[in-house]
Structure 1
Amino acid sequence: MRRVAKLSAACIATAALALTATACGSTSSENDSSSSSSASSGGGSGVKIGLAFDVGGRGDRSFNDSAARGADKAKAEFGGSIKELTAKTSDTEADREQRLTDLADAGYNPIVGVGFSYAASMTKVAAKYPKVSFGIVDSVVEAKNVDSITFTEEQGSYLAGVAAALKTKKNHVGFIGGVDVPLIKKFEAGFTQGVHDTKPAVKVDTQYLSHGSDFSGFASPDKGKAAASGMLDNGADVIYSAAGSSGNGAIEAVNGVKGAWAIGVDSDQYNIPGLAKYKASILTSMVKNVDVGVYDFVKSVHDGKPLTGVNNYSLAKNGVSLATSGGFIDDIKTQLDAAKQKIVDGSIKVKTTP
């Protein structure tokens, strides 16, 4: 979940200012995951994967966990090791740059920055380590040794909007965004368009949990729960959250409210063990296959043919989709399939801004 931001050398300073947090703290938490082989990438003898997670890290049951699954799959297939460093909400641009530098200095290759907030720092660090392959999720970094892994979040969110419009009994739904940034606006734009293209009279409430350089909205389940509770009290009965682990709080709020549904994001949250007690309230999830993008990148480095440039995972390529776990949207499959086909063939142009 993070807006594609195209960076060149000329705009590094501007991006750095936009992404710098106001407070300082320790730069990261970390975790090592090693197998019997710890050889560097290439030559078919294992991979040393460096993962720089966004706030929430492994265990967020959403965005970061999807990236982790891709790295785990690569490690299981090729052998090697994974070093994980996790961002904090108090991070500065210098913290992000240091995190990537530490991984490169330790010999990890490839290195993946999970989230758009690593764009400016990766632009700098990739230039300093031209022999290391870097991947970034949800942003575009123009460098010869960087794979920019992007997604059409607005297309998957459009389908979530169609589902919400068809399932609401009160003609009232809600959208919760983690942080008020361009990437999350893509989710909002697609969702709102999908709702209104399906049923123009449906009301859409929108709330963001944090703004600007405050990324706490991606890792505050309590804020997500409070926002969802407010929407439910105001009459909404379907709530879609694009808010990292904060969305788990929204799912909790919806659970047990008669006739209400939550729509998950990034991972198929119906099948996340930590959310099992809420699964009866999870209508569907807008799955963003970050795991596929990360795995494809790591495999390319292992095979000696690193992916570079922009690799966009669209609805047509199954980069985004609606989960069918639980069977709660089986009865509207015909309408959802029709909407998907219109997006794929270009009959429907999905907006990227509200």
Structure 2
Amino acid sequence: MLKTNRLLLLIALLFAAGIILSACGSSNDEGSGEESGGEASDSGENQEGGGDSDFKVGMVTDVGGVDDKSFNQSAWEGLKAFGEENGLEEGEGFDYAQSESDADFMPNLNSLVKADYDLVFGIGFKLTDALNKVAGQNPDTHFALVDAVAEADNIANITFKEHQGSFLVGVAAAMKTESDKVGFVGGENSELIKKFESGFRAGVASVNPDIEVDVQYAESFGAPDKGKVIASNMYNSGVDVIYHSSGATGNGVFAQAKDIKKNDPSKNVWVIGVDRDQYEEGAIGDDNVTLTSMVKRVDIAVQEVAAQSMNGEFPGGEILEFGLEDEGVSVAKTNEEALTDEMVEEIDNWKQKIIDGEVEVPSTEEDLEAYLDSL
């Protein structure tokens, strides 16, 4: 069953997140999961504060790590916000287990189950098989899968309309480029990341179908060195705006753009961030190379599902989908100097067309080709 989350609940959670995330720092906090050298605590002692003090919620990261400045970090910020909001203690009431490789998914999931966590999140589509297996072996534990769908009564599926947000940052890229050459750097070439690519290319073409889009995949979400090399080649070829959907690999894209800007402050090179507002990642002195970011509110989705589970309303077996209509995806407008009023107005116009159903944003390569042919 497909379920769109209610706007009022999302707004309330956004408000709560805004208050709490200011205290969360940059997610360089030391976690108490696998990264810290041991399993999460199985303590069931009561905590002070609101909510169910016996409720325990944990998450298993993808290989990008909890401080990837993108997808995993957003999820962890949401989990921390939920825990602190409900008086839970990090390391006991809420925690994470960090995955250094795919081989860590299964043991990390099992470690949280064995520690009696009531709800366990798998952060990223790569955890689908492992989470399916562990959930099948532990029917009394609640699980949530982000960015993929698993068919089990004890798994809630959290998905996003990434193609919609990617379309809008494609509009921004097309309006900002001076060379009529833009780039897309993907992590692993997968059905999910194709949604980002397809939406982005459609947005670019909707502004100017003659703009060239250079698409390259790093085949990793945890390879910033490779991201830097790809970005270097793109910028050297004349690309002046790069949108990345590559987790920690994208840190290398930012690093390359900042290196270019440092060596030649007059050079206009831009990066479009993903998942979180990555404005801070683009800072270099008084300049900033982050044009905008396609924000995906993984943090809010994590908070909402955790609250539902704790309150006895766990959406097991359901597909929760977040899109433009409920601010589940959006475009960051932090860099007011780079993102001009004209660009913001155009982005907002396309956003309304998408919400109203006037524009059906492609999410697959096949749909993209049909969309491009229609222009």
| Fold conserved between structures, TM > 0.5 | yes
Relative distance call for 1:228 and 1:149 in structure 2 (3 A) is: same
Higher strand share: 1
CA positional deviation for 1:276: 3.9
Aligned to 2:248: 245
Q: 1:286 aligns to what SS in structure 2?
A: strand
Aligned to 2:271: 262
Question: Does the Cα contact within 8 Å between 2:40 and 2:115 map onto a contact in 1?
Answer: no
Whole-angstrom distance in 1 between the partners of 2:251 and 2:311: 37
Question: Does the Cα contact within 8 Å between 1:219 and 1:244 map onto a contact in 2?
Answer: yes
Aligned to 1:342: 353
Q: Which piece of structure 1 moves more, 278-287 or 60-69? A: 278-287
What residue ranges of structure 2 are gaps of 5+ in the alignment?
A: 1-32, 366-375
* TM-score under structure 1 length normalisation: 0.84
Whole-angstrom distance in 1 between the partners of 2:52 and 2:96: 22
Question: Does the Cα contact within 8 Å between 1:158 and 1:191 map onto a contact in 2?
Answer: yes
The answer as to 2:164 corresponding to 1:155 is yes
Listed as ranges, the matches of 1:305-344 within 5 Å are 305-308=313-316, 309-327=318-336, 328-331=338-341, 332-344=343-355
Whole-angstrom distance in 1 between the partners of 2:54 and 2:215: 46
Whole-angstrom distance in 1 between the partners of 2:158 and 2:152: 13
CA positional deviation for 1:277: 3.3
Question: Does the Cα contact within 8 Å between 2:74 and 2:298 map onto a contact in 1?
Answer: yes
Listed as ranges, the matches of 1:91-240 within 5 Å are 91-92=102-103, 95-210=104-219, 217-240=220-243
Whole-angstrom distance in 2 between the partners of 1:241 and 1:43: 38
Query: Stretches of 4+ moved more than 4 A in 1?
Result: 30-34, 36-40
CA positional deviation for 1:121: 1.7
Q: 2:81 aligns to what SS in structure 1?
A: helix
Aligned to 1:213: none
Whole-angstrom distance in 2 between the partners of 1:330 and 1:337: 12
Relative distance call for 1:287 and 1:33 in structure 2 (3 A) is: farther
Whole-angstrom distance in 2 between the partners of 1:260 and 1:311: 37
Aligned to 2:298: 290
CA deviation vs aligned residue, 1:200-221 (integer Å, no higher than 9, x gap) = 11000010011xxxxxx20111
CA deviation vs aligned residue, 1:112-163 (integer Å, no higher than 9, x gap) = 0000111122222112222211111001111111110000111110001000
What residue ranges of structure 1 are gaps of 5+ in the alignment?
A: 1-26, 211-216
Whole-angstrom distance in 2 between the partners of 1:206 and 1:118: 25
CA positional deviation for 1:43: 6.8
CA positional deviation for 1:46: 4.9
The answer as to 2:73 corresponding to 1:70 is no
Whichever residue aligns with residue 172 of structure 1, its letter is K
Aligned to 1:58: 66
The answer as to 2:96 corresponding to 1:84 is yes
